[in-house]
Amino acid sequence: MIWLTYRQFRTQAIVGAVTLVAAAIALAINGRMIARAWTDSGAANCPATGDCAALTNFAHATDNGRTIVLFILGTALLYLVPPLVGVFWGAPLVARELEAGTHRLVWNQSVTRDRWLAVKLGLLCTASVAFAGILSLIVWWSSYRIDENVLNRLTPLLFGARGVVPIGYAAFAFVLGVAAGILIRRTVPAMAVTLAVYAAAVGAMILWVRAHLLPAKHLTTNLDLSQGIEQLGIGPNGDMRIVAQAHIDGAWILQNQTVTAAGKVFTGPADPTQCGRDVGPKACEDWINTLGLKQRLVYQPASRFWDLQWAEVGVFLVLAALLVAFGFWWLRRRSA
Amino acid sequence: MTAVLETEGLTKRYGRHPGLSDCTLHIPPGRVVGLVGPNGAGKTTLLQLAVGLLTPTAGRIEVLGGQPASGPDQLARVGFVAQDTPTYANLTVADHLRLGAHLNPRWDDEVAQTRIDRLGLDHARPAGKLSGGQRAQLALTLAVAKRPELLVLDEPVASLDPLARREFLQSLMEFTAESGASVILSSHLVADLERVCDFLIVLADSRVLVAGDVDELLATHPRLVGLRRDPEVLPAGATVIQASHTDRQSTLIVRSETPIDDGVWNSERLDLEDLVLAYMAKAAVPAPRRAEMTR
């Protein structure tokens, strides 16, 4: 079975390996360039001396066309690999056999249908996970200095392309493809369904689920406009909206509201003599400071990066396990 | 000895559509069984039930004393060449033999290699580039080299030209002669089966019409020719399968366990094709409802 699995998978494996090697070379070069910028900008001294002003230089030095493009490509590749694995490795695995009728050949060798599926699923799922895992490792190594010092790993788009989450995506996408193939029995429709369901699942995770994987933290402090203003708006009827910037290092801010001392969201009214076209912004800020407003934050702290990573991987591995169980069950009971 | 195929009330429905209805069969070992019937009669259903590609809706089936496809041992004992002889288009002939060797504990590589060489197949050629006849031979080689006790073939020659058809049946006969294995093969043409089978099953409209040893069937199904008379006036112990009348003469095909020698009828021996056609015509008689089944 192992030989047959390898023989049928050979072409896809070569395509995968070539992609991985090409990505590794490009990302290694980029990693070297980022490392050089790190020392040249003086940012390398930051952890030792505590003089981190040079980080600005580092951010500036890496903000050039080639570095950014390769950085984005690496991240994008990690988002593309799982669905591609699902569509081109997973979906055809069983669907192509059913479509070509070769299941009637292979299921009548001296190997049970369960074992046939188990070996194929096991080996190729391992390959999918290894593919995504190795790529994630290379991307991590190549871009960790930017991730840690310029960006924030918890931001939704970076989070899904770092750490172990891509592995969970790849395992889920592959198994989803196989299950779709078993159910639909035709390669191209199975590919389309795989892509659609995968996109919906990951989209739902990013938009609605991830923030709640761990109970978010709450923090209410006195409103401090000197930290920077994110939003300040005054409507025609005097209704007002003010949001100060949130300053929690590396945190993923889920909600940032300004509330009154009574705990209600502050909506004005604005005092037209203090805040308006005729008076300067300074007067308005001073006036706001007299209102005793508070900033209420809901957030996931930076320290939870790995907890959230494992939680998300867990969700997708459970989904993958359910799909595997469904695949075996359906293949066993289906009519040939 | 254990029956090669034993079924009791075997039924398979596809939704509401019957694939096989209430099929009871007993096939003794060592036979070459022909399964004949029009397209859609249920031949493929019966064969796929026998190899475990389908599971029955109702009834019981045992193949070589075991449940079809119940485990690696059972799978190893039954070889199957599916309809249209599927092979992996992008795997070479040599790859197929390696596949067989890897997946079958009783694989006989010498048999496989010899057959491929004798057929003149290029080992490096992808199966997708073989002719229909060559592909069928490759599929047969795979099934034969796993040294099954029962070989099941579903319409193996349907898509072959007459020469390839003859060669295929020839090599099938060589296999049975050498191995002593039992064979079940289906066809919608009696001519394909006539030369190779010693046991016959006639299926139509999802039902078994008749099954038995070919010699016995021919011996018990005479054609009676005599002066025209009422079809109800039968020779004792005989059932009419088919009756046709001219103004002066009646021709009956009957089933009778005892030879008919009453001086009234002139008894002739049928050939297999006439017998099969008589049964199929009988099945088609309550015509309007069954008309669809012929296609």
Per-residue pLDDT of chain B (295 residues; tens, 9 = 90+): 689 999 999 999 998 899 999 999 999 999 999 999 988 899 999 999 999 999 999 999 999 999 999 999 999 999 999 999 999 999 999 999 999 999 999 999 999 999 999 999 999 999 999 999 999 999 999 999 999 999 999 999 888 888 888 888 998 999 999 999 999 999 888 888 888 999 999 999 999 999 999 999 999 998 988 888 765 667 777 888 888 888 888 888 889 888 777 777 888 888 899 999 999 888 876 544 444 443 3
For residue B284, what pLDDT is reported? 77
For residue B230, what pLDDT is reported? 66
Q: Which residues of B196-207 are buried (b: 16+ CB within 10 A; e: fewer)?
A: bbebbbbbbbbb
For A286, the enclosing helix (H) or strand (E) is helix A281-289
**CA distance to partner chain A, nearest, from residue B75 (Å):** 5
| AA identity, residue A38 | W
| Better pLDDT: A263 or B44 | B44
For A98, the enclosing helix (H) or strand (E) is helix A91-100
* Strand bridging mode B222-227 / B266-269: antiparallel
**CA distance to partner chain B, nearest, from residue A7 (Å):** 8
For residue B233, what pLDDT is reported? 66
Q: How far apart are CA A6 and CA B133, in angstroms?
A: 28
Query: What size, in residues, is chain B?
Result: 295
For residue B286, what pLDDT is reported? 56
pLDDT-derived band of residue A99, with 50, 70 and 90 as boundaries? very high
For residue A285, what pLDDT is reported? 84
Cis, peptide link before residue B68, omega less than 30° from 0: no
Interchain contact A1–B (C-beta under 8 A): yes
Q: How far apart are CA B170 and CA A169, in angstroms?
A: 54
Contact B54 A336 (CB under 8 A): yes
Of the candidates B48, B51, B103, which has its C-beta nearest A111's C-beta?
B103
Partnered with residue B212 across adjacent β-strands are B200
- For B64, other C-beta atoms within 10 Å of its C-beta total 20
| Better pLDDT: A226 or B136 | B136
Q: Which residues of A123-157 are buried (b: 16+ CB within 10 A; e: fewer)?
A: ebbebbbebbeebbebbbebbebbbebbebbbeee
| Better pLDDT: A131 or B224 | A131
Kindly provide the ipTM of the predicted complex, given to two decimals: 0.88
Side-chain half-sphere CA neighbours of B118 within 13 A: 13
CA distances from B278 to B202, B235, B262, B267, B273 (A): 11, 18, 23, 16, 8
Chain B's closest residue to A111, CA to CA, is: B72
CA distances from A293 to A221, A224, A230, A234 (A): 9, 9, 15, 16
DSSP state of A99: H
Instruction: Give yes or no for residue A199 having a pLDDT over 50.
Output: yes
Q: What is the DSSP string of A190-234?
A: HHHHHHHHHHHHHHHIIIIIGGGSSPPEEEEEE--GGG-EEEEEE
| Better pLDDT: A37 or A322 | A322
- Measured between beta carbons, the chain A residues lying within 8 angstroms of B146 are 109-110
Contact B86 A1 (CB under 8 A): no
Instruction: Give yes or no for residue A52 having a pLDDT over 90.
Output: no
For residue B288, what pLDDT is reported? 45
For residue B293, what pLDDT is reported? 40
Residues with Cβ within 8 Å of residue B241, at least 6 apart in sequence: B221, B252, B253, B254, B255, B278, B279, B282
Partnered with residue B242 across adjacent β-strands are B253
Contacts with B, A 106-165, CB within 8 Å = 106-113, 115
Which of A3, A104, A112, A334 has the highest number of chain B CBs within 10 A, making it the mutation to test binding with B?
Answer: A104
Interchain contact B237–A (C-beta under 8 A): no
CA distances from B60 to B6, B10, B30, B47 (A): 8, 6, 22, 14
Instruction: Give yes or no for residue A56 having a pLDDT over 90.
Output: no
Query: Which residue's structure tokens are 């004949």?
Result: B36
Radius of gyration of chain A (CA): 26
Q: How far apart are CA B204 and CA B210, in angstroms?
A: 10
- For A336, other C-beta atoms within 10 Å of its C-beta total 17
User: Which of helix, strand or coil describes residue A157?
Assistant: helix
Instruction: Give yes or no for residue A78 having a pLDDT over 90.
Output: yes
DSSP state of A264: P
Once rounded to an integer, what is the mean pLDDT over residues A269-275? 79
Chain A's closest residue to B54, CA to CA, is: A335
Instruction: Give yes or no for residue A113 having a pLDDT over 60.
Output: yes
Q: What phi and psi, each to the nearest 5 degrees, are found at residue B83?
A: -55, 145
Contacts with A, B 81-110, CB within 8 Å = 82-84, 86-89, 91, 95, 98-100, 102-106
Contact B139 A110 (CB under 8 A): no
- Measured between beta carbons, the chain A residues lying within 8 angstroms of B54 are 335-336
Which of A12, A103, A109 has the highest number of chain B CBs within 10 A, making it the mutation to test binding with B?
Answer: A109
Instruction: Take residue B95 and report the two structure tokens written for it.
Output: 């790859």
Once rounded to an integer, what is the mean pLDDT over residues A205-220? 95
Residues with Cβ within 8 Å of residue B10, at least 6 apart in sequence: B20, B22, B23, B24, B25, B46, B49, B56, B58, B59, B60, B61
For B110, the enclosing helix (H) or strand (E) is helix B109-119
Chain B's closest residue to A335, CA to CA, is: B54
Of the candidates B75, B84, B87, which has its C-beta nearest A111's C-beta?
B75
